[in-house]
Structure 1
């Protein structure tokens, strides 16, 4: 009995809370930098506004389908999250995990509304733009938090697949708000980072309390547990971030148009698109790797006599 108690205690301790806390702090710092760089500075406001203006020129034919998707996004997100949460609560009897998943959704969306409407403001930097703050994006937060809730309540076997599909769904929602001229790129990125913070906090609690079902059985060859899903996220995420950096600094080197949205080549639009894709899939890849690594370390400790 004493050996079993010692094994369980060691297994929980292997889920290092500091790693989750540090990762959440990195997301918070990135969120603060995004707000400062693209809302508080003239250069950032100009780039963000230019990307938004160019979206209407670069992708006019895609706006109607994406608009239809946005109209149904709240319903789709709620249905997906509710179905997954009800399944683990009713069928798997993981009531604590279900409650944490709901808390992640609520906390993410409340944080976005507080930041957008109370904490953050948009100063006048001489850039012709909307005179109110729209960062972070509420629609993107709703979609990404629903995907995050599904991800954290999955067993380790299903998390690689959930990370890739959830990341794709979040990115699609963010791109839709961008192309339909509802939000600038920085608004979408900020929303993804808000959800990233609460995913890590909720995930830490789940990993510390879900010993019974957070049982690592290794990456498999099956379609759900394949590490290929995380490899796909790693390829799309950092690769797109590098592309976005190249595009951004290329525009600055060439010299941006004197008025937002009047450039011959819509490089700011493509920069914003690559930035959203890069952040979304990088967060998915990092979360998938972190959760898998912590579950694997726990199981390794648990078998030590």
Structure 2
């Protein structure tokens, strides 16, 4: 019979955090897969496929026909390098105030990483039969959506559902505004959301793997 004092209580106490870490890694991988599939699907179905491209263009013309271009342009002018840099500084400062250096680093990596992926895709992908530059994914929607995810990362757990609703609402408004302004098609908006979802998953997974690495013991 094993004495009570010698019972292996430490592994039992460590089990819940380990399960949470495992679930977090699975969710991060799923986010990468779903986000990547969204980008690929948007490009294949709405750009490479002639029928899908025609529907996408028709929706863009319908949005432009609403006559709200000036209002949409005024809204989009709020999204620029100075405003985004200020938002990143504020969110990073909130993370540091909560003593979460890892979240501050994740916010910067998410916003910059998502934008780099978007610009690389815009430069590398082509739109058949169109002499204009490729517009997929939307850079503006990428910025707004990545800042929305960053907000969810930085707020306390109790406020995350509210922050998530705000992020979805603001991202939706930005997406609609880019269409009303005639800048982007619906597929561009959807692909931008896919980029942010995949990048958020990659950043989360990288952070989880780094935290899970064994630390060297002092000599």
TM range (shorter): 0.7 to 0.9
Residue 37 (structure 1) aligns with: 45
TM-score normalised by structure 1 residue count: 0.61
CA contact (8 A) 1:152 1:199 kept: no
Pick one of 18, 25, 28 that aligns with 1:20. 28
CA contact (8 A) 1:152 1:203 kept: no
Pick one of 74, 84, 95 that aligns with 1:77. 84
Residue 282 (structure 1) aligns with: none
| Superposed counterparts of 1:142-221, under 5 Å | 142-205=143-206
Residue 135 (structure 1) aligns with: 136
1:205, distance to aligned residue in structure 2 (A):
5.0
- Between the aligned partners of 1:184 and 1:56, the Cα distance in structure 2 is 10
- Between the aligned partners of 2:54 and 2:144, the Cα distance in structure 1 is 27
1:158, distance to aligned residue in structure 2 (A):
1.3
1:46 paired to 2:54: yes
1:63 paired to 2:69: yes
Residue 286 (structure 1) aligns with: none
User: Tell me, which stretches of 5 or more residues in structure 1 are unaligned?
Assistant: 211-305
CA contact (8 A) 2:123 2:134 kept: yes
Alignment partner of 2:79: what SS? Answer: helix
1:155, distance to aligned residue in structure 2 (A):
2.4
1:204, distance to aligned residue in structure 2 (A):
4.1
CA contact (8 A) 1:141 1:194 kept: yes
Runs of 4+ in 1 over 3 A off after TM superposition: 2-6, 75-78, 203-210
CA contact (8 A) 1:97 1:206 kept: no
- Between the aligned partners of 1:49 and 1:11, the Cα distance in structure 2 is 49
Q: Which has the higher contact order (CA 8 A, sep 6+)?
A: 2
Alignment partner of 2:157: what SS? Answer: coil
Pick one of 124, 127, 150 that aligns with 1:122. 127
| Superposed counterparts of 1:283-298, under 5 Å | none
- Between the aligned partners of 1:143 and 1:112, the Cα distance in structure 2 is 13
1:130, distance to aligned residue in structure 2 (A):
5.2
- Between the aligned partners of 1:22 and 1:144, the Cα distance in structure 2 is 18
Identify if the C-alpha distance between structure 1 residues 164 and 76 changes in structure 2 by more than 3 Å, giving closer, same or farther.
farther
1:174, distance to aligned residue in structure 2 (A):
1.2
Identify if the C-alpha distance between structure 1 residues 207 and 153 changes in structure 2 by more than 3 Å, giving closer, same or farther.
farther
1:107 paired to 2:108: no
* Alignment root-mean-square deviation, CA: 2.3
Identify if the C-alpha distance between structure 1 residues 82 and 188 changes in structure 2 by more than 3 Å, giving closer, same or farther.
same
Point out the more displaced range, 105-114 or 27-36: 27-36
TM-score normalised by structure 2 residue count: 0.83
- Between the aligned partners of 2:153 and 2:20, the Cα distance in structure 1 is 18
